[in-house]
Amino acid sequence: MGGNYMTQTLRLMLGASVAALLATAAQAQDCPHGDLDARYCDADGDLVADVPTDESQWIDPDTLVFAYTPVEDPAVYKTAWSDFLDYLKEKTGKDVIFFPVQNNAAQIEAMRSGRLHISGFNTGSNPLAVNCAGFRPFTIMASEDGGFGYEMEIITYPGSGVEKIEDIKGKQLAFSSPTSNSGFKAPSAILKGDYDMEAERDFEPVFSGKHDNTILGVANKDYTAGAIANSVMSRMIERDVIQPEQVVSIYKSQTFPTTGFGVVYNLKPELQDQIKDAFMTFPWEGSSLQEEFSKSNESQFIEMNYKDFWEVIRKIDAANGVSYACE
């Protein structure tokens, strides 16, 4: 099984040059772009890349590649997504493999280069994926009553000497990665706007790489404090990875949209519709997806649109001076 998986992955990697050629076929075009990279068009003004009007630019791969945002160890989520990926195979008639990305930048680059077709990008990475990789998000996870999202929390450990935000001055604050909303962008904007506190000047910033690393680092007293997504922390507590009494929350933000799921812009439209249908009709009850994500009170996929749902995130990016320029 492992050998077959590796063979498929290597085949996909070797085909990257072909995919790159397909991607560059959509070079700078005479069409509305907005913040999108010049290779994409946005004629309808919904802020995401349009499906190419030229059918020769559509792709219809024999094997679909799926990746989930690397908030924790990818091995955890390869298991969690197994039932959904089986369902996706049924709906599309395609082989489907799980691509265990290690960081947000690699995930975005994989889609931009044509090696990733379906993905869940974390909150902060969605704008970059949309503008630089032709990502077309259409759904997020929600609770049974339709509620969705998570909060950014700044946590510390009991006895750290940090009881309020101002106490972080002169100490260490752990972030996950620069592309993370709750793991960097939102806390940076809030600390600067509401507390006149900036990294380097007022506290020492460190990057853990992922939310679970930050949470574990604080729980084990390796970091004085950390900015995290509380949905990740909830799932870790449910799995007994940490105990609730190991951490103390000193700040909780407004609710942000959670991971956005979607497809790369140039998949054949019929295939895009089949993939969307798989998300919307997936039977959660008794599934591996339910087993994992019920820990953060999520039990269904609901429709969303990037223009409206990610407005607050784009505002946070603007406050942080973030550019969506693509290299």
pLDDT at 26 exceeding the cut of 60: no
| CA 53/CA 56 separation, integer angstroms | 9
Lowest mean pLDDT among 154-158, 164-168, 261-265, 314-318: 314-318
Note the pLDDT tens digit of each residue in 134-152: 999 999 999 999 999 889 9
pLDDT at 25 exceeding the cut of 60: no
Reduce the DSSP state of residue 71 to 3 states and report it. Answer: coil
How high is the pLDDT of residue 18? 42
* Domains parsed from the chain with CATH numbers: 2-146+258-319 (3.40.190.10), 150-256 (3.40.190.10)
Contact criterion met (CB below 8 Å) for 148 and 302: yes
Question: What's the angle, vertex CA 175, arms to CA 169 and CA 178, rounded to 5?
Answer: 120
Which pTM value belongs to this model?
0.78
Note the pLDDT tens digit of each residue in 60-103: 999 999 999 987 677 778 999 999 999 999 999 999 999 998 88
Beta strands 248-256 and 150-156: pairing type? antiparallel
Instruction: Give, in order, the Cα–Cα distances in Å from 223 to each of 3, 9, 44, 125, 204.
Output: 39, 36, 46, 24, 11
| Mean residue pLDDT across the chain | 90
How high is the pLDDT of residue 28? 54
Reduce the DSSP state of residue 183 to 3 states and report it. Answer: helix
